[in-house]
Structures are given as structure tokens and as C-alpha cells.
Amino acid sequence: MIKRLLLVLGLPVVLFVTWYAASANSENFYAPPLRQILAAFVDTWTPERLRADVLPSLARLGAGYLLAALIGIAAGVAIGANPRLRAAAEPVLEFFRAVPPPVLVPVIMLFAGIGNGMKVIVIVSGCVWPVLLNTVEGVRATDGVLADTARAYGLTGAARLRHLLLPSASPQIIAGLRQALSIAIILMVISEMFAASNGLGFTIVQFQRSFAIPEMWSGIILLGLLGFGLSELFRLAERHALAWYHGLRDAQRRS
Amino acid sequence: MRRFITGMTVLALVAAGAGCGSSGDSGGGTTDGGVAKVKVGIIPIVDVAPIYLGQKQGFFANRKIDLTMESGQGGAAIVPGVVSGQFQFGFSNITSLLIAQTKNVPVKVVTNGVASTGTAGKDFGGVTVRKDSPITEPADLAGKKIAVNTLKNIGDTTVRESVRKAGGDPSGITFVEMPFANMPAAVENGQVDAAWVVEPSLSAVTAAGGRVVAWNYVDAAPDLTVAAYFASSKLIADDPDLVKRFTEAMNESLAYADAHPDEVREILGSYTKIDPKVREALTLPKWPTEINKPSVETLSKLGAQDGIFGSATPDLAKILP
Amino acid sequence: MTAVGAAAPRTAPGGRALLGLSGLAGLLVLVELLPRTGIVSDSYLPPTSRILAALADEAATGAFWVAVGDTLTAWAIGLAIAVVAGVGAGVLIGAVPVLRAVTASTVEFLRPIPSVALIPLAVLLYGSDLGSTLLLVVYAAFWQVLVQVLYGVADVDPVADETARSFRFGPWARIRYVLWPTALPYVFTGVRLAASVALVLAVTAELVIGAPGLGAVIAVAQTSNAITTMYALIVVTGLLGVAINLAARYAERHFLAWHQSVRGEAPS
């Protein structure tokens, strides 16, 4: 337990101390001493602020992420299992994936207005791709022998999806979901740069514009902490969902 | 280990940034014959036409300045570049500079940037509504949803002043942020009740039948100074001669632009993508060489009233030349 | 989604391309019809024909190609740095459990920091030059590669690893013959994802910071209210993305011909 704690905290502590020491006498306006940033952190991120700005962000993040996961997996399975559909859809999907979200925001705004819906769509528009792409790859790479066996046993439709495609693609799907998570956070910030009146991204941009630099850095640190927390949550969920997979690997390791 | 190095990179960058400010090279690198290479951070909009025109006319070359324009999106991208010495000069609106002053950002105005025409009905920015909107005068804007390009900046403070002067209560207005280019559509679709737009988006709104209900720059102060060129305090202290030469060249450019609107409309084609027809028709701002100090005081007062400086008050003596 | 694998209809290479083109054609027709039928106002979403005309106008100017060149330069350099660093770091860390444990929390902390938040830092260090774009591109693309490589390394078949050990393979030989072949498909997915993220970030950086390139031209079009030109330029970024993906797929098929995910494919 202590060892694990040491492993988790060791490097961050070293980095933190290095930053603290290196910046202690900084007179650069944009790189203030860490001391100031920490003081700003305590002053800025009060419970009211967290409720007013961080909660709405998290709600939009959650909605966008879940929607992207659903769409990504559903479309990914359909496209991955159907070479014809994949050939038809791929250039269009690739086209949209390559368009940078910030230039897409004004376009999305035309169609989705300027409310929460727009921000959720921006998040979906960016983080659906890793899920989709990985699902397609995972389904495509379904073991040929397994697929033949499944066919021999007459496994079709939902059963085939449930027992063959999803399980064999799930390590890849999880990898995609994990990437989508960090992209979702980035897009949460980007979406809040437009037509927003609250949110973590909005607040950071506002600090940046009003030259409240220690506060801006404190927001970036909060974003990092948020990302770390969400990623830990994700790890727990992953361990649960992929228990069979890790179990299999462990069993092979033991034998 | 590689991972560790990567982790360190961000810190190294911060440290490098810290070093950059204290030891960063000052001023333009002077090359043969004493010609200074100068980079100016600008926003590629109508307001900065004089600097392009001045460059073309050789006002800067005459003063041994080799000028390069670097475009940025708003002051948030330009001010750091000026502070770190990447740009020698920058262009920013007055309210942003006042905010910077209250936070003690080491920058100072060197000369005027752009000013309102001071004439209601003929300014380069205003609050617009859809043609069938029930809003007809500034007081009607009270309690409405209005789009501005940046929250807590020159747009919302001057719009509030328009409403206040017309006898309306500005406290209930909801401001939302969006790029100017999106505003014509947002007004048309009814996503917002009104939008504060500047040229060339203003032409787009009026072309679609929209109406201007308030001239916020005109209402805020007579002949309002909207934006200015600035430099870092370090450059002003280290290379006063360069600052002087730049200021003279800039002033000559401003005067020239003000006197030659047709050449301004032509030069717009070189650095913007404004439609040629719109370019011919749009309302140009004024480019006086003097900063209108009372109008800056007004902007400072309005900002303080709306609480955009926090608890601080801008010290005009420290930011204006 | 019924037929897969051996029973899947083998689509001829020509047919595949044809299907792809028909997908694109559908999109073009949709964009032409939406404004034409008045569902969307044509001053906010111009029809395909007008966008294509604006594209042709742009393509006739030298400045446009310089901008495309600038963007691709930033993309290529940034991607190369990110891939080399990501693969190197990923293999090393993945292969040494202690390193993985020590760095995991730091990586998880740094990775979600949005590259857009680094913009002030980038401008401070490099102004609005190539360096600013590179900083953001490398930062964003690096994690894509790294995470895929780590997943790939974790996917190593323990039996194969044990076998290699019992044959007394050294650490380098194990990396070369066991870990690398397993991780390679993941690496390619990572590179492919990174390639498009790098493009997105290159354009975004140019858009927001104003560094020279397509993004800066899009910003000018946006502030100039040149909506049709803006759409035309957005289309260009999309097309670049498609081209980049096609190249990545080609490379993947070429280098991974032995792997299941490619083996099951129709030859093309």
C-alpha cells in the first residue's frame, strides 16, 4: 500500500518541488511563482465557484462523452462488420474528423443555437472519432477462427454481437474510450470559448484575457486534477468491464 | 526515463518562459545599416489598415524600420508576445490595455490605433437587431440578450452606457459571447435579441435588412479612442529611439490613412478577404494621431462601474504615453 | 452487420473506391440541397457549388498554396517529433513495469491539460511563428501515440513472452521479437490518430495564434465575413485529413500485411 502510494505520488512530488523552487524568484509576468498560483488556487476555486462553473462543465462533459460513446460504438460495430458500408462511409467520416473543432463551432452554432446543446454537440463531434475508429478496428480484427466457429454454431444477430463482436473488440473499444475522454475535456474547454457564460473553460479563458495569470494557471492545474480524477474513475470502470480479459492474461501468466 | 523527460518538458518550458522575460532580447535585431527588424502583433481587421498603408508608402522604411506584421486573434494572443519580446509592438483595444494596467502587465501605449467616427448613424460599429424586432431605441435593450465578441470588455461596457444614457436599466442585460462573423446569423435566427457588431459584419447585418438601434461608441464618449499601439515597458526604456521612430512612422500612416480613404479600401484587399463590394461601401473608422484622453477616462470609468477591473482602478498615467 | 470475415462480400478495389466516392457525393448533394431548398439560409451555409467555386478561386492564388505548405510543414515536423518521442517513451515505459508505475499518475495529470490552455505559453516562447504551432501539435499528438503504444505493450501475449524468456532472449530481443510485433498494430492506430490530431491542432494553433498557415487564412476569412471562402477553406482542411488518412492506411496495409486485422481484408 505504502509502496503504491509512493509510486503514485513520487514523481509528481519531485516535479512539484522542482517547479516550486525554479519559479520561486520568477519575475516573468506570465510564469509567476508557484507560491502565487497556489494562493490563487485557494482563493479562486471556492465551493460556490466549483458549483457555478465546474458542475455545468462536468454535466456537459458527461452528456457529450456518453453520447459519443454510444454513437461511436454503435456506428463502429455497424461499419466494422460491414466492409461495404465501411468503404462508403470512410471518406466522409475521415473528412469530418479532419476538420478542426474550433472552425466547426461557428457552423454547429448555426444549427444548434448557442445553448448547452451546442456545447454537447461540439464535444460529441470531436470525441466520437477515437471510439468509432477503435471499434471499427476491433471488430475488423475479430479472430478468424472464432468467427468461423461462431458461424458453425449458428450464432447470428444479437447473440453474435453480444458473444463474438463486442467481446473481441472490447480491448480496442476501451482504448478508444480512454482517448475520447481526454479529447472530451479539451473540447469542453474549446466549446466554452464560444457563447458561454459559465464553465471551467470559460473561466480560464476569462482569466487569460483579463491578465489574471496566477488564476489562469490555477485553472489549468484544476483541469489537470479533473483529468486525473476522471482517468482514475475510468480505470476502475475498465478493470470491471474487462475483468475477463485481464483474468485471461493473468491466468496465462500464472500457468 | 523518456516519460520523465517529457513530464519535465512542460516545467522546462515554464522555466524557459521565466528566463525569457528577464533576459529576453530587447527591441528589434538591428541589421546592417542600422535597419531595425520590427514585428508588430496585429488583428487582421479594418482597424489596422494604416499600418499596412504606411508600410506600402515607405513611412517605416524611411525611418530604418523593417516591418513585419504578425496576426493574432485578440489581445490575449498579442500581449504575451509583446511582453516576452517576440513582438516589438502590438495592437489592442483600450479596455484590454486598462485591464492589463490594473494587473501591472508591463506594457505602455505608444500611439493611437483607431477611433470612432463620433457620428451616430455613420460609425463602424453599433448594436443591431433583426428588421422585425420590437426593439427600436437603446432603452428597449434593457433586459435583452445581446451578443458581444468578448465579455467584460469594450463592447459590453459601452453598450450598457448606451442603454443607461437613453434612460434604460442596463443591469438586466444578458451578454453572450460569439465571434463577430457569427452575429449576423444569430440575429437573423433569433438566438440573440441584438448583437454589437463592427465592420464588415455590420454591413452584413444591414444588407440582410437588420437595423442599428444604438451607436455605443458614439454614446460612450465623443470621438472615442477605441484601440492603440503599445510596447513593453522594457523596450521603451531600452530603445527609446526605436520607439520614437515607430511612433512617428505610425502617426504619419494614421494621418495618411485618414486622408486617403480610397487607398484604405484598396489596401484592405491585401490582408483581408472582405468582399470587394462590401469594401467599397463599408464605414471606415477615424484614424487621428492623438489619443483622446477624456474618452479613455470614460472607458476607465465605465469599466470600473461594471466591475471589470475587480477592485482595482486603472492608473492612466502609467498606461498612456 | 451480419456478414463478416470469410463470408463477407469481397469488394473489388475499384468498387471500394466507388463506394467511397458515392458517400462523398451524397454529402455534396446534401449540402447543395439544404440551402437551395431554404432549410438553411444560403448566406450561412452556401451550397456546394458556390463553395467549390470559392475553392477554385483560392486555389488559383499563390498565397493559398503557401498557406497549405506552411500547415503541412508544421504538421509533418510536429507529427515526426511526437511519433518518435511517443513510441520511444511508450516502449520503454511499457517494457519496464517500475517505470510505468512511477510515471502513470504524472502522465494522467499532464495528458488531459488541453493544448489550447498552452497558447499563452506558446506565444510567450515563440511569438506567432512555426514554434508555437509545433508546441501545441507535439503536445497533443504525443499522448495519442503514447497511449496506444502502452495499450499495445500491455497486449503482449504472456505465453509468447514466457516462451521468449525460456529461450533466453535478452531484453532487446524480447522487445524486438515479441513486444514490437504485438504493439505494431496499436502503434499504427496511434500514428493514424496522431496524424489527424496533429492536423487539427496545426490548424487550430494557426487559427487562434495567427501563425502562418491555413488556419490563419480561415481566421482572416472569418473576420472578413467571407463565409463562402471560410467554408471552402474548412473543406480544404477536411480534404487534407482524408489524404493523410489514405496515406496512413496505405502504410498500415503495407507494413502490417501479416496481421489479422489486415489479413481479413480484401486485397487491394
Nearest to B291 by CA among B133, B114, B158, B141: B114
Return the pLDDT at C257.
Answer: 65
Q: Within an 8 Å CB–CB cutoff, is residue A29 touching chain B?
A: yes
- Specify the length of chain B in residues: 321
Mean pLDDT of the B156-182 span: 87
What tens digit of pLDDT does each residue of C133-160 get?
A: 898 899 888 988 898 888 888 777 777 7
Q: How far is A31 from chain C (nearest CA, A)?
A: 9
Q: Where a domain ends, among B158, B193, B220?
A: B220
Minimum CA–CA partner of B76 in chain C: C120
Whether B147 and B185 share a structural domain: yes
> What pLDDT score was predicted for residue C85?
93
User: What's the pLDDT at B27?
Assistant: 43
Does residue B99 form part of some domain?
yes
Is A208 inside a domain boundary? yes
Look at the block and give the residue holding cell 542600422: B34
CATH of the domain at C212: 1.10.3720.10
Q: Which of A105-109, A140-144, B28-32, C254-258 has the highest mean pLDDT?
A: A105-109
Compute how many other C-beta atoms are within 10 angstroms of the C-beta atom of residue B1: 12
Cβ distance of B15 and A113 shorter than 8 Å:
no
ipTM confidence: 0.73
pLDDT at position A246 is 65
Percent of chain B with pLDDT strictly greater than 70: 88
Its domain, for residue B202, covers 125-220
Give the Cβ contact number of residue C257 at 10 Å: 11
Q: Is the pLDDT of residue B5 over 60?
A: no
Q: Which chains sit next to A, with 3 or more Cβ pairs under 8 A? A: B, C
What confidence tens digit (pLDDT) does each residue in B273-301 have? 888 888 888 999 999 998 988 999 898 88
Chain A residues touching residue B21 (CB < 8 angstroms)? 26-31
Helix (H, G, I), strand (E, B) or coil at A181: helix
Does any domain span residue C81? yes
Q: Do A90 and C241 touch (CB under 8 A)?
A: no
Interface test with A, best of B182, B192, B230, B234 (most A CBs within 10 A): B182
Query: In chain A, which residues have their Cβ closer than 8 Å to the Cβ of B8?
Result: 15, 18
Cβ–Cβ under 8 Å, residues C179 and C224: no
Give the model confidence (pLDDT) of B238-256 as tens digits: 999 999 999 999 999 999 9
**Domain count within chain C:** 1
Q: Is residue A120 in some structural domain?
A: yes
Identify the pLDDT of residue A81: 79
Q: Which of A29-38, B170-179, C38-47, C57-66 has the lowest mean pLDDT?
A: C38-47
Test C263 with A144 for CB contact under 8 angstroms.
Answer: yes
Q: DSSP assignment, residue B141?
A: G
Q: What's the domain count of chain A?
A: 1
Report, as an integer, the average pLDDT of C1-20. Answer: 54
**Residue C243 forms part of a structural domain:** yes
Give the C-alpha separation, C257 to C268, whole Å.
11
Please report which confidence band the pLDDT of residue B22 belongs to, taking 50, 70 and 90 as the band edges.
Answer: very low
- Whichever domain contains B291, its CATH number is 3.40.190.10
Name which of B10, B71, B203 is nearest C216 (Cβ-Cβ). B71
Diameter of chain C measured on Cα atoms: 72
User: Greater confidence, A243 or B259?
Assistant: B259
Categorize the per-residue pLDDT at B11 as very low, low, confident or very high, splitting at 50, 70 and 90: very low
Same domain, B40 and B168: no
What distance in Å separates residue C188's CA from the closest CA in chain B? 20
- Give me the phi and psi of B230, to 5 degrees please: -135, 165
* A106:C222 CB<8 A: yes
CB pair distance less than 8 Å for B192 and A26:
no
Cβ pairs B/C, distance under 8 A: 133
Give the chain A residue whose CA is nearest to the CA of B175.
Answer: A197
Q: Kindly tell me if the per-residue pLDDT of C165 is higher than 80.
A: no
CB contact under 8 A, A114 and B18: no
Has residue C238 been placed in a domain?
A: yes
In the prediction, which pLDDT does C12 show? 55
Kindly state the percentage of chain C with pLDDT values over 70. 86
Q: What is the pLDDT of residue B251?
A: 92
Q: Cβ of B73 under 8 Å from any chain A Cβ?
A: no
pLDDT of B109 reads 93
Would you say residue A200 lies in a domain?
yes
Please name the chains neighbouring C, where neighbouring means 3+ C-beta pairs under 8 angstroms: A, B
Alpha-carbon span C183 to A252, nearest angstrom: 18
d(CA B228, CA B51): 12
- Asked whether residue A36 is domain-assigned, the answer is no
Question: Nearest CB to C127: which of B43, B87, B204?
Answer: B87
With respect to residue C11, please indicate whether it lies within any of the assigned structural domains.
Answer: no
Instruction: State the total domains in chain B.
Output: 2
pLDDT of A138 > 80? The answer is: yes
With an 8 Å Cβ cutoff, are B203 and C225 in contact?
yes
What is the model's pLDDT at position B7?
Answer: 39
> Do B214 and B231 fall into the same domain?
no
Domain end residue (candidates: B178, B195, B220): B220
Q: Is residue A81 part of a domain?
A: yes
Predicted confidence band of residue B172 (pLDDT cuts 50, 70, 90): confident
Mutate to test the interface with A, among B10, B11, B233 (most CBs of A within 10 A): B11
**CATH code of the domain covering residue A149:** 1.10.3720.10
Mention every residue, 6+ apart, whose C-beta is less than 8 A from residue A155. A163, A164
Mean pLDDT of chain B: 83
Residues contacting B205, CB < 8 A, separation 6+: B128, B183, B184, B187, B195, B197
A84: containing domain = 49-254
Q: Could you tell me the residue range of the domain that residue C225 belongs to?
A: 58-263
Specify whether B228 is located in the same domain as B214.
no
Mean pLDDT of chain A: 81
Same domain, B299 and B236: yes
What are the backbone angles phi and psi of residue B87, rounded to the nearest 5°?
-110, 145
Instruction: Please state, in angstroms and as integers, the Cα–Cα distance from residue A122 to each residue in A52, A126, A179, following that order.
Output: 21, 6, 16
Mean pLDDT for C39-65 is 85
The answer for B 117-146 residues in CB contact with C (under 8 A) is none
Nearest to B7 among A11, A114, A208 (CB): A11
- For C204-212, what is the mean pLDDT? 82
pLDDT digits (tens, 9 = 90+) for A110-128: 777 777 888 899 899 888 9
Are residues B242 and B280 located together in one domain of the fold? yes
End of a domain among B186, B220, B254?
B220
Chain segment A168-198, per-residue pLDDT in tens: 778 888 888 887 887 888 888 888 876 677 8
List the single residue in A92, A157, A219 with the smallest CB-CB distance to C27: A92
pLDDT at position C267 is 37
Residues B168, B52 within the same domain: no
C26 assigned to some structural domain: no
> Is B8 contained in some domain?
no
Same domain for B78 and B131? no
Is residue B168 in some structural domain?
A: yes
> Does residue B14 fall inside a structural domain?
no
